[in-house]
Amino acid sequence: MKIIVPYAGIVLLVGPSNSGKSTLLKSMIEKKQILSSEVVSSDEFRVLVSDREFIDWRERPKDEADCLLDEYQTISKEAFSMMDSVIDARCRLNKLTFVDATHLHPDDRKRYIALARKNHVPIIAIVLDIPLDTLIERDGQRDHPRGKRRLKQQYQTFKREKRFIKKEGYTSTYLLDETKHIEFIRRTNPI
Ligand code: GTP
């Protein structure tokens, strides 16, 4: 499948944990279809602001789990704020940015649609629709598994949101059920 990516603007990856967002972008970097500096990832910004990519609060006593969840949310808020500043600056400089985060909640996506509009650049969405069983199976192979419960919650949100995404106002939307055989075709001029 060929995905036409704009010359400048925002490419929003959408999909639950383990749907393969980072893996797809990594393979595109390896194939030299995109630059590593064109990718911003919420995981990397969490590390930048807090030295931690993920906090595992599963199987902890409730009080401790609540504390860890609070800490994770505080870190995420700082990470996204930094990340959005970088995306905004890149839009102002007429650069292309691939945003690697789940974007499951409408507000998270609408923020970037507004950012693209403000900067008069296009925004496209690449939506990864991978079956829940596959997401759970892949989780076992990760250094920091996200946990079945979390994946199920994310998948339910994704299933609910999927049908609205097309109408949210992207320049184009691509719905993928696998990430192999993908080719990015880059527009070579701003029009
Ligand atoms: P988050 O960062 O948690 O949102 O996940 P993500 O959607 O970025 O998934 P990521 O690309 O980090 O992949 C998660 C795990 O699934 C890794 O262990 C990958 O190796 C594996 N994975 C991703 N895509 C594929 C695929 O197409 N096939 C297989 N077999 N494994 C994959």
Answer yes or no: is pLDDT of 191 > 70: no
| Structure token digits, residue 135 | 């997401």
Distance CA 5, CA 185 (A): 6
Please give the average per-residue pLDDT across 9-26, as a whole number. Answer: 98
Q: CA–CA separation, 18 vs 182, rounded Å?
A: 17
Task: Pull the structure tokens for residue 11.
Answer: 């490419």
Q: Output the pTM of the full model.
A: 0.94
Task: Give the ipTM.
Answer: 0.95
Maximum alpha-carbon separation in the chain: 55
pLDDT score of 69: 84
Using CA atoms, how far apart are residues 178 and 38, in angstroms rounded to an integer? 22
What is the gyration radius of the CA atoms in the chain, in angstroms?
A: 17
When comparing pLDDT for 157 and 145, which is higher? 157
Angstrom distance (rounded) from CA 157 to CA 177: 17
Q: Is 154 in the pocket of ligand 1 (CB under 6 A)?
A: no
Encode burial over 155-178: b for 16+ CB neighbours within 10 A, e otherwise.
beebeebeeebeeeebeebbebee
Beta partners for residue 176, in sequence order: 128
- What is the residue with the minimal CA distance to atom 14 of ligand 1? 18
End-to-end CA distance of the chain: 22
Q: Are the beta carbons of 9 and 124 closer than 8 angstroms?
A: yes
What tens digit of pLDDT does each residue of 52-71 get? 877 777 777 888 878 888 88
Ligand 1 pocket check for 42: Cβ under 6 Å: no
State which ligand 1 atom lies nearest to the alpha carbon of 43.
2
Per DSSP, 36 falls in state G
